[in-house]
Structure 1
């Protein structure tokens, strides 16, 4: 015969509940520490201050992913090239793991290292692509790299499978870049990355961003880009600061419907126009 086990008393039940609560609290604290470590790792791999360039205003914003250890691999970067022009990059590594965040650091550093050899955007992406393939990893990255001449406002751009940038001018024109682009970095050997030339005119802006800003379950990429075009157009006509535009664009990421990370780099020009036709390509 089976003897019925006596029900636990009130003191015993409270002790069990207290033990379970303590275990849950410890697990939550451990998970929070892991998330904070992962986010700190990614933020530590992003550049600190943006370079100071006469006539050019740079502003960045970054919103991390917070789903467990689901950190992303988005990045932004800006640095002065040996010839005085400015290198600008924004990109996104496949996946949302600590490995993706570490790979992001490799790609960003690789772009800077290759810029000491060549600053031509197309050649730079091709060399970085070959470098990543030689490392033998299984991750890849999308990227846009631009070379800006502050004296003339000439912008040369190449894309590796990345979300196109948005432009706007002070006279009310705005749109999405239409450059051809090439495949993501780290996928195929011997790839070419076409270069497209633009003009950044007085009062104009370029907005470089990652897909976490404009695409998700609740927001198709076309609609997301249209919203950024509208924001950039308003900012250029109204003469808003680059930082204000960057803040408005990153807020757009709240509407995409997922927890992907997001990065924005805004480039504004308040210098005098050089010779040539202003505006779009």
Structure 2
């Protein structure tokens, strides 16, 4: 059959409607075909070029029949577009083709051709064909309006997506800023708490013949206050008094409890109360004001000239004495802490700190980081021996670092070292390295 050439979009639309009527396509399919042909040919016709249209029935597998509608652009510089057509078509080298299934064979309208493109004024303009074409034209208009609405909604959807992406980008940037601000606040908060805790620690003391150093490490670096505290002072008789406290819990409340214990012990020590009575008397003073207080306590008295050492204990881990000859002992004495039933040290342990001997006082966070206190005490002996000959101000931190290579149980940690200096050593010193 000879294709028909069109230079006008209106004539092309009418021709497609007649094809739909001649082959009895469903109205909805016909309306979409008219819109698709017009959309594909529009650019070529507006540029002044012709398009060619042909239609023919073709057999298909299974005994069905297809209507093949082909639109060709001739010598157009650009191929016809198949994008976003209401009725999708297949691109050909010079145009677009649609293959539409036909229903059961039926008698066509009077004198209507079964293939080809009917010319204007032909038999397809019988009343039945005119009604069908009018129906397709109406559907075409409705479908065009619907597709136009879809295009508008699609454009609006893209705009909303762009706005949403921009909003999400802004929210993400704000979230990042808030995270950075939160991190800055955490660091500032931690720094303030560290400075506050440092201010609450006792001032260093200098005692001829003794060297002191201390290391403190919080369980949570963002909340560096805790219940592990120490106190040291020189009593009127010249002896050095040291208090180690581990108050139950973490944070500010445990810090308050530990400070109350150290202040009460300091007051009792300066008043001259016997060492063996201080733990029990501290309990009697504090519990009426704070019934929930619980703290372990280790008290040490050292005579700097003779090295005489006395220890009282309230439920606290024992002190480690590492002698200059390499031997070691845990100095254990029984007792119960502040807030415990029957509080107080059951006895006072006496020993001697000889020249070069190292005394290590600590809280359980040092030896129980792996949840096994017995294994932790064995490792502490080994670590103290390895670092015993270092400058005293380096020993507590080095021991704590080695003990915490593996942490299964995180807890505040305090390590305090006292070494009796040889007679020919320069003046002893004290340093807190926490």
Please say whether Structure 1 and Structure 2 have the same fold, judged by a TM-score greater than 0.5: yes
The answer to whether the aligner puts 1:183 opposite 2:336 as a matched pair is yes
Q: 1:70 to 1:80 in 2, by over 3 A?
A: closer
Q: Is the 8 A contact 1:140 1:186 kept in 2?
A: yes
The answer to whether the aligner puts 1:263 opposite 2:429 as a matched pair is no
The answer to whether the aligner puts 1:171 opposite 2:325 as a matched pair is yes
Aligned length: 265
Deviates further, 121-130 or 197-206: 121-130
* Offset from partner CA, 1:159-187 (integer Å, 9 cap, x none): 1111111111112211222222x111133
Q: 1:105 to 1:18 in 2, by over 3 A?
A: same
Q: Partner of 2:186 in structure 1?
A: 31
In structure 1, how many angstroms separate the alpha carbons of the residues matched to 2:390 and 2:221? 33
* Offset from partner CA, 1:226-262 (integer Å, 9 cap, x none): 12212333455xx443223223222134235144221
Q: Partner of 1:20 in structure 2?
A: 175
What is the DSSP-based 3-state SS (H/G/I as helix, E as strand, rest coil) of the residue aligned with 2:202? Answer: coil
Q: Is the 8 A contact 1:231 1:245 kept in 2?
A: no
In structure 2, how many angstroms separate the alpha carbons of the residues matched to 1:23 and 1:245? 41
The answer to whether the aligner puts 1:211 opposite 2:364 as a matched pair is yes
The answer to whether the aligner puts 1:199 opposite 2:349 as a matched pair is no
* Offset from partner CA, 1:59-107 (integer Å, 9 cap, x none): 1111223254373211122110111111012121100121111222221
Q: Partner of 1:95 in structure 2?
A: 249
What is the DSSP-based 3-state SS (H/G/I as helix, E as strand, rest coil) of the residue aligned with 1:264? Answer: strand
Q: Is the 8 A contact 2:333 2:346 kept in 1?
A: no
The answer to whether the aligner puts 1:129 opposite 2:283 as a matched pair is yes
User: Given the alignment, which residue of 371, 374, 379 partners 1:227?
Assistant: 379
In structure 1, how many angstroms separate the alpha carbons of the residues matched to 2:180 and 2:209? 52
Q: Is the 8 A contact 2:194 2:224 kept in 1?
A: no
Q: Partner of 2:238 in structure 1?
A: 84
In structure 1, how many angstroms separate the alpha carbons of the residues matched to 2:177 and 2:421? 58
Q: Is the 8 A contact 2:358 2:420 kept in 1?
A: yes
Q: Partner of 1:277 in structure 2?
A: none
TM-score (norm 2): 0.56
**Deviation, structure 1 residue 123:** 1.2
What is the DSSP-based 3-state SS (H/G/I as helix, E as strand, rest coil) of the residue aligned with 2:279? Answer: helix
Q: Is the 8 A contact 1:86 1:148 kept in 2?
A: yes
In structure 1, how many angstroms separate the alpha carbons of the residues matched to 2:346 and 2:385? 28
**Deviation, structure 1 residue 207:** 0.4
Q: 1:192 to 1:178 in 2, by over 3 A?
A: closer
Q: 1:190 to 1:183 in 2, by over 3 A?
A: closer
In structure 1, how many angstroms separate the alpha carbons of the residues matched to 2:353 and 2:196? 34
1:28-177 equivalences in 2 (<5 Å):
28-49=183-204, 51-66=205-220, 68-69=222-223, 71-177=225-331
C-alpha RMSD of the superposition: 2.4
| TM superposition outliers: structure 1 runs of 4+ over 6 Å | none
What is the DSSP-based 3-state SS (H/G/I as helix, E as strand, rest coil) of the residue aligned with 1:124? Answer: helix
The answer to which structure, 1 or 2, has the higher relative contact order (CA under 8 A, 6+ apart) is: 1
In structure 2, how many angstroms separate the alpha carbons of the residues matched to 1:55 and 1:70? 33
In structure 1, how many angstroms separate the alpha carbons of the residues matched to 2:376 and 2:214? 18
TM-score (norm 1): 0.84
In structure 2, how many angstroms separate the alpha carbons of the residues matched to 1:263 and 1:192? 21
What is the DSSP-based 3-state SS (H/G/I as helix, E as strand, rest coil) of the residue aligned with 1:135? Answer: coil
**Deviation, structure 1 residue 190:** 6.0
Q: Which has the larger radius of gyration?
A: 2
Q: Partner of 1:275 in structure 2?
A: none
